[in-house]
Amino acid sequence: MKIDLTYIPPEGKKLDFEFSQEWWKPDLKEDRIVGLVGPISGWVKIQPVGKKISVEGSLSTRLRLRCDRCLEPYAWDLSKDFRVFLSLAPFAGELDLELSEDDLNLEFIHGNLLELDQIIKEQVILSLPMKTLCSGECRGLCPTCGCNLNLTTCSCSSKFETPLYQHQ
Ligand SMILES: [Zn+2]
Ligand SMILES: [Zn+2]
């Protein structure tokens, strides 16, 4: 979904969005997200602020994440508000010291078109927890035979029930 920034009035422009379940494509940078369980929807408000464009909004969806421990997918609800500031273009000549590298979000703006998909996608990735766990009690995979210890027990598993394993 591309938004033409040419026609944004000073007071801003608000719009709703909804992307289907199929919208999420596998991302090599964040392979813990297997996909979406349902559509992703929300709203954004786009407003010029000085030399920048403010994009604030809200999104909600249900993700399918891969568990860090047992590698099985599980559903995870996400609902978040966000606000980002984007620069329209890198400033040639004088370096604007107020701009950090993060401000030069060139992947989000091409010409005068704002790539809303990219912004939403980044917000989804940023919202992931440090560790994705299907449950706090997930027992993970057996380090020896690789079986899923939530579903089965193997003959080697008892040897690994040590405090060292508990910290992983
Ligand atoms: Zn798990
Ligand atoms: Zn085993």
- pLDDT tens for each residue of 139-164: 999 999 999 999 999 988 565 555 55
| pTM score | 0.80
> pLDDT digit string (tens) for 66-84?
999 999 999 999 999 999 9
Cα–ligand 2 centroid distance for 138 (angstroms): 15
The count of structural domains within the chain is 2
pLDDT at 94 over 70: no
How much of the chain exceeds pLDDT 70, in percent? 82
- Assess whether 119 and 143 both reside in one domain: no
Cα–ligand 1 centroid distance for 79 (angstroms): 22
Q: What is the pLDDT of residue 143?
A: 92
Cα–ligand 1 centroid distance for 138 (angstroms): 5
What 21-28 contacts at long range (C-beta under 8 Å, 24+ apart), as own/partner pairs, is: 23/117, 24/121, 24/124, 27/121, 27/125
Contact between 57 and 43 under an 8 Å Cβ cutoff? The reply is: yes
- Assess whether 93 and 108 both reside in one domain: yes
Cα–ligand 1 centroid distance for 66 (angstroms): 8
pLDDT at 168 over 50: no
Contact between 8 and 35 under an 8 Å Cβ cutoff? The reply is: no
- Assess whether 124 and 160 both reside in one domain: no
- Assess whether 119 and 154 both reside in one domain: no
Which residues span the domain enclosing 167?
A: 138-168
- Assess whether 105 and 159 both reside in one domain: no
